[in-house]
Amino acid sequence: MLASAPGVAAVYGFDEAVPAYDAHVPLLSLAGILDVTPATIPASTPYLTADPGRASGIGDCIRGHGDHALNVGICWAGATDTPEKARRSCPLSTLSTLFALLGIRWFSLQSTDIVERMPLVELDARRDFDGTAALVSHLDLVLSIDTSIAHLAGALGKPVWVMLRFAPDWRWMLAPSSSPWYPTARLFRQPAPGDWSSVVQSVGTALTERLRARVGPVSPAAPTR
């Protein structure tokens, strides 16, 4: 997929031989070398595109799940192999109030299957990055924690709401609700360490406003038995 980015001549996998080169620089060193500041960060998106063939097929799958005011993809957990990484994940049960909003069809963007019973559509496309990009390209909105899904949606130029822990990764900075990296991103930050409930409440309010703009007054779904 990176091969679709403007200015990229070739992409080599970890198991592929790299041809001779004149210079080498680690990706994350570029900001320092180029004297990047928030005011000079390029914000021209999209700079990645989904494969048209896969996107077409996934579009048919999404339409097969019926008409809804909003089709929203969600990713609530990332790798948890270190305590630092684990703190960025939001418990799925905390998101239940969002799933109760009428008019939204939720699509899981987790690469693994869901054990809990939740009103989420799980398409096989999400299991690889190209498929996930094709799925995201057909969604109205992506809701994600700080993981690759958030960056993918931003690079694709899709609206993405990012739920951030209290002290997030440096890329998200500390104060703004917007991101210079991704003009389509909106950031929802924990007001205190571990406080996902406040984040979800803010997201719920924003979703309700977005739904109201589409369809009028919004009510929660009736509880299931």
Segment 126-141, tens digit of pLDDT = 878 889 999 999 999 9
The neighbouring-strand residues paired with 182 are: none
pLDDT by residue (tens digit) across 105-122?
999 999 887 766 788 888
User: Do 4 and 48 meet the contact criterion of CB atoms below 8 Å apart?
Assistant: yes
Q: What is the DSSP letter of 221?
A: P
pLDDT at 55: 87
Please name the helix (run of DSSP H) or strand (run of DSSP E) that holds residue 121, with its range, or none. strand 120-121
Instruction: Look at 187 and 57; give whichever has higher pLDDT.
Output: 187
pLDDT level of residue 224 (50, 70, 90 thresholds)? very low
Q: Which of 10-24, 74-88, 187-201, 206-220 has the lowest mean pLDDT?
A: 206-220
Average pLDDT of the residues of the chain = 88
The answer, yes or no, to whether residue 23 has pLDDT greater than 50, is yes
The full set of domains in the chain, from first to last, is 2-215 (3.40.50.2000)
CB neighbours of residue 46 within 10 Å: 17
In sequence order, what DSSP letters do the residues of 129-149 get, joined into one string? HHHHHHHHTT-SEEEEESSHH
Is the pTM higher than 0.85? The answer reads yes
Give which of 183, 207, 54 is closest to 131, Cα–Cα.
54
Per-residue b or e along 50-81, where b marks 16 or more CB atoms closer than 10 Å to that residue's CB: bbeebbeebeebbeeeeebbbbbbbbbbbeee
